[in-house]
Amino acid sequence: MTALDLNSPVAVVGTGTMGQGIAQVALVAGHLVRLYDAVPGRAQEAAAAIGARLDRLVEKGRLAATDRDEARARLEAAESLTDLADCSLVVEAVVELLEAKQELFRQLEDIVGEDCLLATNTSSLSVTAVAGALRNPGRLVGLHFFNPAPVLPLVEVVSGYATDVTSATRAYETARSWGKTPVACADTPGFIVNRIARPFYAEAFAVYEAQGADPATIDAILRESGGFKMGAFELTDLIGQDVNESVTHSVWRSFFQDVRFTPSLAQRRLVESGRLGRKTGQGWYDHRDDAEPAEPHTAEPAQPPAYVVAEGDLGPASELLALIREAGIQVREDDEDHGSRLVLPGGGQLALADGQTSVEFRDVVYFDLALDYRKATRIALSASQDTSAQTMSEAIGLFQALGKDVSVIGDVPGMIVARTVARIVDLAHDAVAKGVATEEDIDTAMRLGVNYPLGPFEWCRRLGRTWACSLLDDLHERDPSGRYAPSLALYRHSYATEKREGAS
């Protein structure tokens, strides 16, 4: 089954933000595109807006003027749904209400030909439920574009329970022929991206709710240590707290209130207060013109230790030893396996976040996971009230000597980056085990859909297969609500790897 022929007209119904973007994509790819909107005049306005966007592409040198002129000539505003009768694909981007979408497709079924592919751009409804209204639900597929559709490459191609393989394949190939990167996905709450990305927000909000750190510090750690493009607080201020919260609620409800997707009380209060983010001038941050930018906590300069003793294997943080040596600090290796840690001259210990709390140990400082310890510009440290001032000062001085800013946060198990990455890795394994998508497609979706520096499976391979499972086990022991319980899929993966490694 090949992509839709370029001679086939494509219709876009609902010409708001997404409809305009999708129409532009199909148009620039070479199709004749018909726009229809329930509000009279809106399709014409959308055509004009798309035309203006094409003009800007010409001004920027990204589109030839002749291509723009031809594209404009192929763009038509339809007066009624019956004008879409000869279309080979109708993409729906109307209001996010099941009844509205079902009613639209019911009407379209009586208008378009038998071969016409029907697609919904829903981001939170079940594709199966949308198709449930049709006589032939097999021809309906989810084509989930991301905003702005002309810019973002990812398209989730969602197969509902009844979607024909031929329809899904045709939609997939068509998206690819339009220059997009499609990923195939089963009809599951949140599809791939909105399902697996939930912990990115939830864990940041949970650390904040636990008084572990303020939004600016958590965001700085996620960016400068975790390698994420934006922190969870600034990103949700950009998306809109109401929009982000409603996706979380929808996924949580659709999973029958699965505790792993529980929404945040702090975010609820923010929405209730009308602080929706940039669009209202205030959200987690104050975006008003006269507001002072919020600064992350950054520790004052401290004296670095003259040496550290490295005990055991630091696992994902092993690279630190080379960095410490390069900074002129002596590393004394102690082969006896007392655990995986660095011992500081004053006798205190420095350990990679492992899902336990500092208070459980004598004189321990935890440091957070970094995507790449060489490139990270900030490291988070956490300690309990029992940690000595000397240990904390030596730990701060050590990371500062490596050129890092240091943020000291509360004694939160799994800290910030470590717990976030572990949960993303877990949800990704769970999704594959439930048949949502392949490992490769999940990695692609998370890199392109939400800009993660690595896909969850790439990240997991880098960290070692047992790392996430063991961290989540520790977190689960301390919070037995089920939120952190590693999925069976992650367990299987971890133990299978351990066995294989043990046998070799």
Ligand X SMILES: NC(=O)c1ccc[n+]([C@@H]2O[C@H](COP(=O)([O-])OP(=O)(O)OC[C@H]3O[C@@H](n4cnc5c(N)ncnc54)[C@H](O)[C@@H]3O)[C@@H](O)[C@H]2O)c1
- Per residue, the 3-state secondary structure of 372-397, as one string, reads CCCCCCEEEEEECCCCCHHHHHHHHH
Nearest CB to ligand X, comparing residues 105 and 361: 105
Among 13, 25, 116, 323, binds ligand X (CB under 6 A): 13
CB of 194 or CB of 393, closer to ligand X: 194
Select the residue interacting with ligand X from 9, 12, 14, 383 (CB under 6 A). Answer: 14
Say how far apart CA 320 and CA 315 lie, in whole Å.
10
Q: What is the smallest separation between the CB atom of 15 and ligand X, expressed in angstroms? A: 5
123 as an active site residue: the answer is yes
Segment interacting with ligand X, rule: CB under 6 A, options 36-44, 82-90, 268-276, 376-384: 36-44
Residue closer to ligand X, measured from CB, 102 or 420: 102
Coil/strand/helix, residue 286: strand
Mask of contacts with ligand X, 144-163, x by CB under 6 A?
A: -x-x----------------
C-beta of 79 vs 498, nearer to ligand X: 79
Q: Is 96 exposed, middle or buried (0-12, 13-18, 19+ CB in 10 A)?
A: middle
- At its nearest, how many Å lie between ligand X and the CB of residue 20? 8
Of 2-10, 13-21, 308-316, 327-335, which part binds ligand X (CB under 6 A)?
13-21
Q: Of 4, 11, 12, 18, which lies in the binding site for ligand X, with binding defined by CB under 6 A?
A: 18
Catalytic residue among 31, 109, 124, 156: 156
Cα of first residue to Cα of last residue in the chain, in angstroms, is 44
Give me the least distance between CB of 47 and ligand X, in Å please: 13
Size of the site for ligand X (CB under 6 A): 22
CB 35, CB 159: distance < 8 Å: no
15 forms part of the interface with ligand X (CB under 6 A): yes
Helix, strand, coil abundance in the chain, percent, nearest 5: 45, 15, 40
Site for ligand X in 70-109 (CB under 6 A): 93-96, 100, 104
Identified catalytic residue from 88, 121, 123, 358:
123
Of 9, 19, 277, 397, which one interacts with ligand X (CB under 6 A)? 19
Among 3, 30, 42, 111, binds ligand X (CB under 6 A): 42
d(CA 145, CA 120): 10
Q: What angle do CA 100, 105, 106 make, to 5 degrees?
A: 95
Q: Choosing from 121, 194, 244, 382, which is the catalytic residue?
A: 194
At what angle are helices 215-224 and 417-433 packed, to 10 degrees? Answer: 70
Distance from CA of residue 344 to its chain's centroid? 37
Q: Are strands 341-343 and 349-352 parallel, antiparallel or unpaired?
A: antiparallel
The one segment of 35-43, 182-190, 351-359, 365-373 that binds ligand X by CB under 6 A: 35-43
Which helix (H) or strand (E) element contains residue 254? helix 241-254
Local structure of 158: helix, strand or coil: strand
Single out the residue of 282, 304, 292, 327 nearest to residue 390, CA to CA: 304
Q: What is the pattern of x (binds ligand X, CB under 6 A) and - over residues 209-238?
A: ------------------------------
194 catalytic residue (yes or no): yes
In whole angstroms, the minimum distance from the beta carbon of 336 to ligand X comes to 55
Give the one residue of 3, 8, 16, 184 binding ligand X; rule: CB under 6 A: 16
When binding is defined by CB under 6 A, the residue of 88, 123, 225, 244 that contacts ligand X is 123
273 near ligand X, judged by CB under 6 A = no
Tell me whether residue 103 is one of the annotated catalytic residues: no
Q: What's the per-residue H, E or C state across 72-141?
A: HHCEEECCCHHHHCCCCEEEECCCCCHHHHHHHHHHHHCCCCCCCEEEECCCCCCHHHHHCCCCCHHHEE
CA 214 to CA 226: how far, in whole Å? 17
Contacts of 385 (CB under 8 A, 6+ apart): 359
* Token pair of 491 as six digits: 């367990």
> Per-residue contact track with ligand X, 432 to 471, x per CB under 6 A?
----------------------------------------
Tell me if residue 156 is catalytic.
yes
188 counts as binding ligand X under rule CB under 6 A: no
For residues 401 and 304, is the Cβ–Cβ distance under 8 A?
yes
Residue number with the smallest Cβ distance to ligand X: 16
Residues that bind ligand X (CB under 6 A): 13-19, 37-39, 42, 93-96, 100, 104, 121-123, 145, 147
Query: Which of the residues are catalytic?
Result: 123, 144, 156, 194
